[in-house]
Structure 1
Amino acid sequence: MIDYTGTCRDAQHLCVLVHGLWGNPNHLEAMAKSLRAKHPEENLHILVAKRNSGSFTYDGIELGGERVCQEIEEEIEKLAKEGQAIKRISVVGYSLGGLIARFAIGLLYSKEFFDKIQPVNFTTFATPHLGVRTPLRGWHNHIWNVLGARTLSASGRQLFTIDKFRETGRPLLEVLADPESIFIKGLAMFQRRTLYTNIVNDRSAVYYTTGISKTDPYTNLDKVKINYLKGYGDVILDPKAPVSPLNPEETQISFYGGIVKASQTTIGRLPFFLAMILFIPLGVVAFLINSGVQSLRSNRRIRLHERGLAGIQPGNYRVPLLITGMREAVEDVYENLNSAQSHEYLVAGTEEEAAQSEPSSPMLERPPSSLDGKASRGKLLRQESEKPGQHEPPTLALAPYQFRMIQALDNLGWRKYPVHIHKVNHSHAAIIVRVDKPSLDEGRVVFRHWLDEEFIL
Structure 2
Amino acid sequence: MKQYHLVVLVHGLWGNTSHFDYIVDALRKHAEKYWSDEENQLLVYTTTLNEGFRTYDGIDVCGFRVAEEIADKIDTFEETSQITKFSLVGYSLGGLMARYALGILYKKVFFEKRRIELINFTTFCTPHVGVLAPGKNFAVNVFNRVVPWLLGNSGKQMFLKDSVRNHGLRAKEEPLIYLMSHEDSVFFKALQSFKNKTLYANVINDKRTAWWTAGISLNDPFFDINEFNGTKAFQYVPGYETVVVDRNQPIVISKVQSYNIDDEVEKNGEIDSNPDEQLHDFFFLNYWFAKMCRWIVVICTLSITAPLILAWKIAQSSMEMTISAVRVTRFLNTYSTQLLQDFFVISAPGPSSAQENAGENPGNNVEEADNMDVDGVHHHDNELVNIRPSSSGSSSLRSIQTQNTNNYNMLGKSLNDQADHLMESIYDAIERKDIHAGFLQESSSGSGVKRSEDNVLVVSIRELENQTTEQLNSKHAFDMEELIDNLQLDISPRQVNIIKSLNKIHWNKFPIYIRKTSCAHACAVMRQQDPLFEEGKIVVKHWIEKGFQIS
TM interval, short-chain normalised: 0.7 to 0.9
Secondary structure in structure 2 of the residue aligned to 1:193: strand
* Aligned-residue offset at 1:244: 2.4
- Give the whole-Å Cα distance in 1 for the aligned partners of 2:41 and 2:180: 32
| Larger Rg belongs to | 2
- Alignment of 1:29 with 2:21, yes or no, is yes
Deviation string 1:20-51 (CA, Å, 9 cap, x unpaired) is 00100100111111111111365211110111
Distance 1:290 1:242, change over 3 A: farther
Q: How many residues are matched?
A: 417
* Counterpart selection for 1:439 from 498, 508, 532: 532
Deviation string 1:222-263 (CA, Å, 9 cap, x unpaired) is 48822222211210111102632469999437896999x999
Secondary structure in structure 2 of the residue aligned to 1:86: strand
Secondary structure in structure 2 of the residue aligned to 1:240: coil
Query: Is the contact between residue 361 and residue 410 of structure 1 (CA under 8 Å) also seen in structure 2?
Result: no
Deviation string 1:133-162 (CA, Å, 9 cap, x unpaired) is 011242111001000111001000000000
* Counterpart selection for 2:430 from 307, 317, 341: 341
* Counterpart selection for 2:321 from 295, 300, 304: 295
Query: Is the contact between residue 363 and residue 416 of structure 1 (CA under 8 Å) also seen in structure 2?
Result: no
* Counterpart selection for 2:191 from 187, 191, 198: 187
What's the counterpart of residue 490 of structure 2?
397
What's the counterpart of residue 248 of structure 2?
240
What's the counterpart of residue 350 of structure 1?
none
Deviation string 1:355-413 (CA, Å, 9 cap, x unpaired) is xxxx995485676124759xxxxxxx9x9xx5xxx437433121111111111111011
What's the counterpart of residue 10 of structure 2?
18
- Give the whole-Å Cα distance in 1 for the aligned partners of 2:187 and 2:173: 17
Query: Is the contact between residue 9 and residue 88 of structure 2 (CA under 8 Å) also seen in structure 1?
Result: yes
What's the counterpart of residue 165 of structure 1?
164
Distance 1:249 1:210, change over 3 A: same
Return the letter of the residue paired with 2:501. A
1:30-49, aligned counterparts within 5 Å?
Answer: 30-40=22-32, 43-49=41-47
* Counterpart selection for 1:286 from 302, 308, 312: 312
- Alignment of 1:66 with 2:64, yes or no, is yes
* Aligned-residue offset at 1:172: 0.3
* Aligned-residue offset at 1:318: 2.8
Percentage of pairs with the same residue: 30
* Counterpart selection for 2:224 from 198, 220, 227: 220
* Aligned-residue offset at 1:338: 3.6
Query: Is the contact between residue 306 and residue 314 of structure 1 (CA under 8 Å) also seen in structure 2?
Result: yes
Deviation string 1:309-341 (CA, Å, 9 cap, x unpaired) is xxxx33233342111493442442444434433
- Alignment of 1:369 with 2:458, yes or no, is no
Query: Is the contact between residue 203 and residue 335 of structure 1 (CA under 8 Å) also seen in structure 2?
Result: yes
Secondary structure in structure 1 of the residue aligned to 2:131: coil
What's the counterpart of residue 90 of structure 1?
87
* Aligned-residue offset at 1:288: 2.3
What's the counterpart of residue 355 of structure 2?
none
Query: Is the contact between residue 180 and residue 188 of structure 2 (CA under 8 Å) also seen in structure 1?
Result: yes
- Give the whole-Å Cα distance in 2 for the aligned partners of 1:171 and 1:99: 13
What's the counterpart of residue 520 of structure 2?
427
* CA RMSD between the two structures: 3.4
Return the letter of the residue paired with 1:26. S
Query: Is the contact between residue 343 and residue 396 of structure 1 (CA under 8 Å) also seen in structure 2?
Result: no
* Counterpart selection for 2:49 from 51, 61, 75: 51
* Counterpart selection for 1:104 from 77, 101, 106: 101
Distance 1:255 1:43, change over 3 A: farther
Return the letter of the residue paired with 1:391. I
Note the residue ranges of structure 1 that are not aligned, 5 or more in a row. 1-8, 346-358, 374-380
Return the letter of the residue paired with 2:426. L
Distance 1:404 1:344, change over 3 A: farther
Distance 1:340 1:280, change over 3 A: farther
- Give the whole-Å Cα distance in 1 for the aligned partners of 2:196 and 2:426: 35
- Give the whole-Å Cα distance in 2 for the aligned partners of 1:290 and 1:334: 16
